[in-house]
Amino acid sequence: MGVENRVWHPDQTVRRRRDGSVDLAFTTSGWKELVRWVLSWQPDVKVLAPVRLRLRVEEKMREALGGVAMDDRR
């Protein structure tokens, strides 16, 4: 099931692009849960906006990769 076939938020808007990608937009105040949700779709998702969310997702991905790299050195 693709992201466009499900209701994630009551005020969401979904737009399918010509290249097959999908834009999903909605308003939320739950950043922590949203970051986890976005990370669960990796590597198949790209945060376009807001920049603050994109930077937080990138930060969490770096943290995760750092943990993997450190575990490999043991």
Q: What is the pTM of this model?
A: 0.70
Of 38, 28, 2, the residue nearest 17 (C-alpha) = 2
Maximum Cα–Cα distance across the chain: 47
Above 80 in pLDDT, residue 73?
no
Residues in the chain: 74
Other C-beta atoms closer than 10 Å to the C-beta of 39 total 14
Above 90 in pLDDT, residue 60?
yes
Top pLDDT among 53 and 74 is at 53
Q: What are the CA-CA distances from residue 35 to residues 24, 25, 48 (Å)?
A: 14, 14, 13
Top pLDDT among 12 and 71 is at 12
pLDDT digits (tens, 9 = 90+) for 12-49: 899 999 998 889 888 888 888 889 989 998 888 889 88
Q: Confirm if 53 and 34 have CB atoms less than 8 A apart.
A: yes
